[in-house]
Amino acid sequence: MNIFENFHLTFMLAAEILLAVLVLLTIIIGLQKIKRKELVIKIFSQKGAHYFARALQFFAVLWFAGFVANLTGIPLGEYLKEPFIESNHVRITPYTLILIVSELIFVLIIRQLILYLIRVWQQSKELKPSQMRTLLTVLDILLWGGAILITLSVMHLPVKTLFAFPLITFKDNNTLTVGNVISIILVFSLTNWFLSVLQEIFLNIGQRDPESRPRRKTMFTVFKYLVWVLIIILSLETMGVKISVLVASSAALFVGIGLGIQDIFKDLISGVFLHFEKNLTQGDVIESKGIVGEVKEMGLRTTKIMTRDNIFMMIPNHQFISEPIINWSHANQNTRFNVEVGVAYGSDVHKVEEILLKCASGHKKIANSPKPFVRFLNFGNSSLDFQLFFWTEKTFIVENIKSDIRFLIYQAFAENGIQIPFPQQDVYIKEFTKPEGAQKT
């Protein structure tokens, strides 16, 4: 086919073509300046702005070619529609390739624009990175999935036949097709994104009541598990897998799995009770099996605590239900502790009491109400034993507070001449006298 068969160049036609060329050059030069615009760089990055300008110039050249072909009467459209690859299922023409390239460029531009809007939204709504990744995944699936469908349609490929292509055939003649896989991916991605957004909304309700946040988190976790179970069941039903038959045929397997994960369910149920009974809350200082720690995070299955050595421990929730736990800050943040000390016999006990109270009242981390007091504990074997009782909210570092008080007591006793005794034992040696007349050896 000769595309120049009906082409006749005249002076007016040449002038119009020259004018179109000038317009094209003006557009290309103008588009070249776009890549230096601040907004374009923000959306597409420095390198992306360069390719964005090139893409627009490509579309300008296409417009110029179509305009000139229409102006000169050249049947360019018919030539572009002539296939150079054609079979029973595929038909590819130059026009098809132009559409595919244009579609690819258009999708990339649209994706960058939406990505920029999502980033602006993320800054205002403070989306988490995980939510951002999920949203981008859904966006990519929708954009590129739509682009692939359009491309297949342009190439005259049977899209319905492609979606119905079987991947796995089950015993009851049910098949897993490409369309099923794509649908499952879309449903799972959208469900994950929807749950992440819904979680942020649900957890941020009632910011004035931060203590209820762990309880709301537990409720949402249970809801999320139920939603995923429902989605999985519906997906299997869509694929033609009968859940009732699957459960019946795998009863023995489920029994084994149940025995293996019974401790996990025990922890889950214990976590639900802990969150609703509020016997343990975030920030509590607890003691279990001689280990003192502060509750940092309460999960549905485990609770994370930090010990006094700054070591994080993951404790299964059932231990807080089945074993005795000391919660130093459950009912009241102000907790009573004591320091024991002994003085030598003969010391002025009233002076000792005065010094102990002064040492306690001088410490910044000891509460003034209730006031510290001293108890005369006992008459020891070598000392008069006293107990200094005090209250503090700093239960997590109370051992450091006790150490500070002992330093103060020792210094105050030394300044006032009060001795702290130590155990002493007197050994008496009785002289043995031999009887008279005993033979010396």
Sequence ranges of the chain with CATH classification 3.30.70.100: 335-416
Average pLDDT, the chain: 75
Fold of 262-327: SH3 type barrels. (2.30.30)
Q: Are 112 and 43 in contact (CB under 8 A)?
A: yes
Domain with CATH 2.30.30.60 in the chain: 262-327
139 compared with 251, residue with greater pLDDT:
139
Which stretches of 204-250 are DSSP H helices? 213-238, 243-249
The verdict on pTM exceeding 0.85 is: no
Of the two residues 35 and 207, the one the predictor is more confident about is 35
Provide the pLDDT confidence category of residue 308 given band limits of 50, 70 and 90.
Answer: confident
Euclidean distance between CA atoms 114 and 106, whole angstroms: 12
pLDDT at 206: 55
Percent of the chain past pLDDT 90, that is, above it, reads: 11
Residue range 335-416, CATH number: 3.30.70.100
pLDDT category, 324, cuts 50, 70, 90?
confident
pLDDT at position 387 over 90:
yes
Rounded-to-integer distance, Cα 144 and Cα 152, Å:
12
SS3 annotation, 120-144: HHHHHHCCCHHHHHHHHHHHHHHHH
Q: Residue 173 and residue 406: Cα distance in Å, rounded?
A: 82
